[in-house]
Structure 1
Amino acid sequence: MSTKQMDKNKKYDRQLRLWGDHGQQSLETATVCLVNATATGTEILKNLILPGVGSFTIVDGNKVTGQDIGNNFFLDKDSLGKSRAQVATELLLELNEDVSGDFVDEKPEVLVENNPTFFNTFSIVIVTDISEKGLLTLADLLWKNGVPLLITRSYGLIGYMRLAVKEHTVTESHPDSSHEDLRLDHPFPALVDFCDSLNLDEMSKKDHMHTPWLVIIYKYLQIWKERHNGDPPKNYKEKKEFKELIKTGIRSKDEDIPEDEENFDEAITHVNSVLVPTKVPDSVCEIFNDNACCNLHTESSAFWIMARAVKDFVDHEGDGMLPLRGSIPDMTADSERYIKLQNVYKDKANSDMSLVYARVVNLLKANGKPHDFIEEEDVRLFCKNSYFLRLIRGRSIEEEHTPDPNSLSHIASLLDDPSSEDITWYILLRAVDRFHAQYNRYPGQYDDQVEADIAKLKGCVGKMTQEWGLTSNIKDDMIHEICRYGAAELHSVASFMGGIAAQEAIKIVTSQFVPFNNTYIYNAMKQTSMTEQL
């Protein structure tokens, strides 16, 4: 490894532990477009530049104002009157020499009209502070070209995010908790041979107390099945009885679980988790049954080709089960037997992966793809994570702004739910955009018009909810609060939203972890937040 690479690994050590070398590679090849270098926008870029995003481009036709200097840490008084895109780009580039940046000193609405293909090359487009009309035009363009769009907004003490992505597939979802893939309910031949080669009754006490707990459960599971017509323990009562059966194998009877029989203690502890039936999760079945998986073509992505290969494996060689993950947890055991057991699982996982890879090669050939379109390591990673695959099919901004009866019914139910109060802020932000379209300014933007704007905004809210067929029960004090904000962008809220938005952008470009779907509201007054599909 070169010195430069070693330095980079040290620099990005923490995040490499999160998403690995391949995740970092995806981030370093990502191209991000930021529309408008507001306080929120520059905070988002800061949190993408520091971990090493490949490149960014700022599109912003505004000049730096006193208000910008007051709330944006990446602008200073010397930049007053200069191009906001240029100044922000220059200052942000100082954060990380590994990142390249560029800017376009032009209004995004004008750029969309004059050069609509400009946005098609980006991994993700992040939008802040844009008119509703301009947003709808840009969002429609990005949706048609399959470019993910992340809208982020800081409005007084309210934060808002909206992710519009036509299709997003996740190979590494990193679930917070999951069951180990040990297959004790469907032991494969090599596991059976290994466990059968060990005789607990004939072992010395030292070997007995260092037998892996997985083997112990397997052994007593066979005894249980012989006494129960081949059925494993199924309910709480039976599992409790099974634990008592395992206890009978403890050599010393001085205590229920003596310290020198810790492996039996571990076996009893893991009974409930390892006896969970091995099956394909419902979310993965949905992927297998998806049209994109069943009907591959020349434009199919690597994800769908590998998903189809795994599906075919499950239907044929896998006997209804996914490829083995190939890992086992730590356990009290002597090194020799633990390593042998570990290799039993690794060898089975490698064998399953090889069968899937062979199917991938055939699918690539059948669909006119080059053989190196998918590497063997890609298949290995896919198989290892096949239990945790995720698919998100989003809703376009246009669909959201022309809501159907089901969507309106959902919003109505949220309005009636006291625990979903933050949905009111979503409605108010939508009404704010209507206000802006009508008056070419935001409510409360000028101090001498705050009182008059309260009535005007209330009218916008009433008209919008009437069109949606909803009862307008929004409290007057919430309308007053929105007007009091005057569209101010508070840096504390902008900073918070910048961190959250950057996190979601990284999920999109690395295809790791599951992004939110599709609307996020943050209430800084109460320190609460909510996500909803709107």
Structure 2
Amino acid sequence: MAAIGKSKAGLDKNNKYDRQLRLWGDHGQTALETSRVCLINASATGTEILKNLILPGIGSFTVVDGHKVQGEDVGNNFFLTKDSIGQSRAKFATEYLSELNEDVSGDFMEEHPESLLESNSDFFSQFTIVVATNLCERTLLKLGKCLWEKNIPLLICRCYGFIGYMRLVVREHRVIESHPDNAHEDLRLDRPFKGLVQYIDSIDLNTMNKKDHSHTPWLIVLYKYLQEWKEKHAGELPKVYREKNQLKDIIREGIRRNEEGVLEDEENFDEAIKAVNTALNPTKISSQIQELFNDDECTNLHSESSNFWILVRALKEFVENEGNGALPLRGTIPDMTADSERYIQLQNVYHEQADSDISIISNKVHDLLVNIGRGGNITDQEIKTFCKNAAFLRLVRCRSLEQEYSEDSDKLKDLSHHIDDEEPDDVIFYVLLRAIDSFYDKYNCFPGWYTDQVESDVIKLKTCLSKLMHDWGLNCMIKDDYIHEMCRYGASELHTMSAFIGGAAAQEVIKIITHQFIPFNNTYIYNAMKQTSVTIEL
């Protein structure tokens, strides 16, 4: 009975999370369901982020917030009500958020992050990722330093009027399944492997009957006529547009004619002609993968090296030896017009070569683990997934907040070309937000917070901005219109903005947790007035 109940529960979960399982698979969902997320401050933006993480099924969340619910909170936060005014914001937000998904457990701490950092900084060690909203610069830097030392990812989010801001702080984020949008198939027609050559050489298009001729996979057709081309061109592949058109003409001549001399309807030949432009891409190592091979973490393995770097080192050794300069075969082929028997045979040829490459890399991984004296093991499934995605590996390394906020930061000194223009790009709002933080640090309130002081705050903010730009060595001007607009916002947090940033931020958190898809690096700014955005490394 227990087994039946468990099976039913698993089936229900598959139905519940069906759409997202198609995106990141069972292993991605498992990573999500075992994650622990900490939210600092249950602001409108913070609760929107958590909502979008609770619904897909994170393991647990903890809200750290020492504030009491205010009237403005109820006005922009769907997870607070007027009955909660004067009560713990952390407690009430957690209760309402927990109702979204019974699979997710929620907890809260009624404490300000500043005091928690002072009294128990190890508290944050338990989390997979920390999301911080609406923190002042002083506290943010303390939190950033604490998490950087513990190697825990931090995502900073902020909505300020019609401006949204996110900053990802992570030492090293490794992505195996980056899910590229427009990846070419790994067919190796430019350098066919032995198994493929033997299989296709065993097929003779000229002796086939009509049905078989029109149902031979286009990959075989293209290979056959490619060899004919190479014989006439000193073994070279067609490279330029004119040469590819000539190959297409050769394939077109291979289409059979009926008794009346009319071309037969052979869809597989049409597919082969269309594939000429995409299937003959040279097999090579991308610059991103080469950078991984040259990275110190790859060349200097040690007993604390992560699985990722051990796999990269094994991959590098494979490329330099058995792979003859190529990555392991991906092992998949696209759908094509063909009879089932020959399509499966062709598919098996690619599968067998891919399995052979995986086996070689598995042996290298085992030897590396022994050589560096590292305990544990790397599973066969992990190695298989790594090999299948070897061409799409990505590495994101962000700078720490401490580096960014350093006055001699070269990155900050390079901001002039973003803002010294008649129509500056959205990076200008990063500068303005930093000036606002300086304003808060000096006056303990945000510019425009009190509506009767907006005009005087404009002058104060201009002073803070001038000092900031002087400290950064920026010799450009920011129009007064921008400064007036930031003061008019009065640090307001609009729900529509919170909803937008909440969705975007949750997406980045999921990327970090699942190690799938590529997160932004490292600062994102959204301008709702123009519906534009920019990503910049700071």
**Unpaired runs of 5+ in structure 2?**
1-5
Paired with 1:344 and 1:420, the residues of 2 have a C-alpha distance of 55
Distance 1:258 1:58, change over 3 A: farther
Q: Give the partner amino acid of 2:50.
A: L
Residue correspondences, number? 533
| Aligned partner letter, 1:377 | Q
Q: Distance in 1 between matches of 2:423 and 2:153?
A: 30
Q: Where does residue 141 of structure 2 map in the other structure? A: 136
Q: Tell me what 1:87 maps to.
A: 92
Shift of 1:369: 2.8
The AA in structure 2 aligned to 1:459 is: T
Q: Does 1:515 align with 2:513?
A: no
The residue matched to 2:352 in structure 1 has which SS?
helix
Query: Once the two structures are aligned, what percentage of the paired residues are identical?
Result: 60
In 2, Cα distance between equivalents of 1:391 and 1:255:
60
- 2:60 is the alignment partner of 1:55: yes
Q: Structure 1 length normalisation: TM-score?
A: 0.97
Secondary structure, aligned partner of 1:344: helix
Asked if residue 6 in structure 1 is aligned to residue 28 in structure 2, the reply is no
| Match runs of 1:418-437 below 5 Å | 420-437=424-441
1:485 aligned residue: 489
Partner of 2:120: 115
More displaced 10-residue stretch of structure 1: 442-451 or 257-266: 257-266
Structure 1 pair 474–381 and aligned structure 2 pair: CA distance change class (3 A) = same
1:212, CA displacement in angstroms? 0.6
Tell me the equivalent position of 2:179: 174
**1:431–1:195 CA distance, 2 compared to 1 (3 A):** same
Q: CA deviation at 1:223?
A: 0.8
* Distance of aligned partners of 1:96 and 1:255 in 2 relative to their CA distance in 1, 3 Å threshold: farther
For 2:262 and 2:37, the matched residues in 1 are separated by: 57
* Alignment correspondent of 1:31: 36
Where does residue 388 of structure 1 map in the other structure? Answer: 392
Written as runs of structure 1 = structure 2, the 5 A alignment for 1:151-230 is: 151-230=156-235
Q: Does 1:265 align with 2:270?
A: yes
Contact 2:251 2:273 (8 Å CA) reproduced? yes
Q: What are the Cα deviations for residues 478-505 of structure 1, in whole angstroms up to 9, with x where unaligned?
A: 1111000000000000010000000000
Q: How does 1:244-393 map to 2 (within 5 A)?
A: 244-252=249-257, 260-371=265-376, 373-393=377-397
TM-score normalised by structure 2 residue count: 0.97
Residue pair 2:64, 2:108 contacting (<8 A) in 1 also: yes
2:454 to 422, 429, 450: 450
Partner of 2:265, secondary structure, is: helix
1:461–1:472 contact (8 Å) kept in structure 2 = no
- Counterpart residue identity of residue 35, structure 2: A
Moved over 3 A (4+): 253-259, 403-406, 416-420
CA distance in 2, matches of 1:268, 1:242: 8
Q: What SS class does the counterpart of residue 92 from structure 1 fall into?
A: helix
- CA distance in 1 between counterparts of 2:346 and 2:375 reads 38
The corresponding residue for 2:132 is: 127
C-alpha separation between the residues in 2 aligned to 1:417 and 1:232? 48
Mean CA deviation greater in 469-478 or 324-333: 469-478
- 1:219: how far off? 0.5
* Structure 2 counterpart SS, 1:2: helix
Structure 2 CA distance, aligned partners of 1:168 and 1:112?
25
Deviation at 1:256, TM superposition (A): 12
The 1:258/1:70 distance shift into structure 2, 3 A limit, reads farther
Offset at 1:516?
A: 0.3
C-alpha separation in 1, matches of 2:159 and 2:52: 16
Partner of 2:415: 411
Aligned partner letter, 1:457: L
Mapped to 1, the partners of 2:43 and 2:263 lie a distance apart of 64
1:468 aligns with 2:468: no
- Asked if the contact 1:60–1:85 (Cα under 8 Å) also holds between the matched residues in 2, the reply is yes
CA apart distance, 1:406:
3.4
Residue by residue over 1:309-352, the C-alpha shift from the partner in whole angstroms, topping out at 9 and shown as x without a partner, is 11111111111111110000000111110000001001111111
Structure 1 residues 256 and 140: alpha-carbon distance in aligned structure 2, compared to 1, 3 A threshold: farther
State whether residues 257 and 264 of structure 1, in contact with CA within 8 Å, keep that contact through their aligned partners in structure 2. Answer: no
Q: Which amino acid aligns with 1:137?
A: K
SS of the residue 2:182 aligns to: coil
SS of equivalent residue, structure 2 residue 414: helix
Tell me, which stretches of 5 or more residues in structure 1 are unaligned? none
- What is the letter of the counterpart of residue 308 of structure 1? R
**Aligned residue type for 1:51:** P
Task: For 1:524, give the aligned amino acid.
Answer: A
Distance 1:451 1:251, change over 3 A: same
Could you tell me whether the CA contact under 8 Å between 2:144 and 2:401 is conserved in 1? yes
SS in 2 for 1:260: coil
Letter in 2 for 1:396: S
**Deviation (angstroms), 1:259:** 6.5
Following superposition, the deviation at residue 368 of structure 1 comes to 2.5
For the residues of structure 1 that align with 2:258 and 2:322, how far apart are their CA atoms?
45
Instruction: Measure how far apart 1:467 and its partner are.
Output: 1.4
Asked if the contact 1:257/1:265 (under 8 Å) is kept, the reply is no
Q: 1:387-406: per-residue Cα shift (whole Å, max 9, x none)? A: 00001111111111115463
Going from structure 1 to structure 2, the CA distance change for 1:234 and 1:278 (only over 3 Å counts) comes to same
- Give the Cα–Cα distance (whole angstroms) in 1 for the partners of residues 156 and 310 of structure 2: 31
